């Protein structure tokens, strides 16, 4: 039985095709669903293993990035009288996983699912406009926190990835929340140089995010939110310098691309199922 990945789309989300390709490459069964199809009952979240919030510009970022979409998830009810956020609560209680990239990360912070340190789903962090006051569309390096327990990050060290955002500066509501995130090892990735040295310096840190944070998880490691786009780097040939690297005899392995994040979570779920199988 294949791992089932659900990818949300609609209302300005525009990276669902690339994310679908990433899960297909990882061996998952992928379904791209307009949010209204979930609310109308055409699909059931609980039938899936991974819920994905792709990048894009939901509702044009007219109020704050991800805010309007987050409100629909929090307050719009389905035919059973449940909000999608309530469905997500059940989904996570069953040990399943959520990934949010760029605009998806912004939604997860607006929903209070990240950093996820309280039960009231009030935002404890926000993605603010970049310090550069401009849209950043280029490649960066990310250092992965080896102390973070999330299966999304297994075996990773330094990863080059593209960023495409105007509001990627992660700021926490107060220092107490930031301290808890640090203590819980919820920092997943930080902007760094090509050698893995974490830095606040622009343009290596493209947005001015506190502690150069590029990604965080919730305390359980089930929810990952990140600003860089792993679904935009599924092959060595997606790298902007692939031609030069190939000429000099250097090619990046699969596990050195963004594909590794999708491979990791799909493999984790496959291994979990194998362990549950009865002995023959």
Pairing of strands 125-128, 50-53: unpaired
Active-site option among 18, 87, 231, 268: 231
Q: Which residues of 12-29 are buried (b: 16+ CB within 10 A; e: fewer)?
A: ebebbebbbbbbebbebe
Residue 53, judged by CB atoms within 10 A of its CB (0-12, 13-18, 19+), counts as buried
229 is catalytic: yes
Q: Which residues are 71's β-sheet partners? A: none
Active-site option among 102, 136, 142, 167: 102
Active-site option among 136, 167, 229, 268: 229
192 is catalytic: no
CB 2 within 8 A of CB 43: no
Q: Is the peptide bond before 203 cis (omega within 30 degrees of 0)?
A: yes
Return d(Cα 70, Cα 30) in angstroms, integer: 23
Go through the chain and tell me how many residues it has. Answer: 280
CA torsion through residues 211, 153, 96, 93, sign? negative
Catalytic residue ranges = 102, 229, 231
């Amino acid at each position: 039985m294949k791992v089932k990945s659900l990818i949300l789309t609609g209302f300005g989300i525009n990276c669902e095709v690339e994310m679908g390709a990433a899960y297909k490459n990882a061996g998952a069964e992928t379904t791209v669903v307009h949010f209204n199809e979930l609310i109308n009952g055409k699909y059931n979240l609980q039938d899936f293993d991974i819920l994905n919030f792709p990048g894009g510009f939901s509702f044009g970022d007219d109020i704050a990035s991800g805010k309007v979409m987050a409100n629909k998830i929090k307050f719009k009810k389905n035919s059973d009288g449940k909000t999608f956020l309530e469905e997500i609560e059940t989904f996570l209680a069953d040990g399943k996983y959520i990934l949010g990239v760029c605009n998806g990360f912004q939604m997860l912070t607006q929903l209070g699912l990240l950093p996820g340190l309280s039960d009231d789903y009030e935002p404890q962090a926000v993605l603010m406009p970049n310090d550069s006051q401009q849209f950043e569309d280029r490649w960066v390096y990310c250092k992965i926190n080896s102390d973070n327990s999330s299966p999304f990050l297994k075996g990773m060290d330094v990863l080059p990835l593209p960023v495409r955002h105007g509001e990627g500066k992660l700021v926490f509501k107060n220092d107490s929340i930031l301290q808890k995130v640090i203590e819980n090892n919820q920092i997943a990735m930080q902007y760094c140089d090509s050698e893995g040295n974490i830095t606040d310096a622009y343009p290596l840190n493209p947005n001015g995010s506190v502690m150069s944070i590029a990604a965080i998880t919730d305390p359980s490691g089930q929810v990952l939110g990140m600003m860089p786009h792993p679904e935009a780097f599924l092959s060595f040939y997606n790298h902007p310098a692939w031609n030069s690297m190939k000429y000099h005899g250097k090619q990046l392995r699969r596990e050195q691309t963004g594909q590794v994040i999708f491979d990791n979570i799909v493999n984790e779920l496959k291994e979990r199922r194998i362990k549950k199988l009865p002995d023959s």
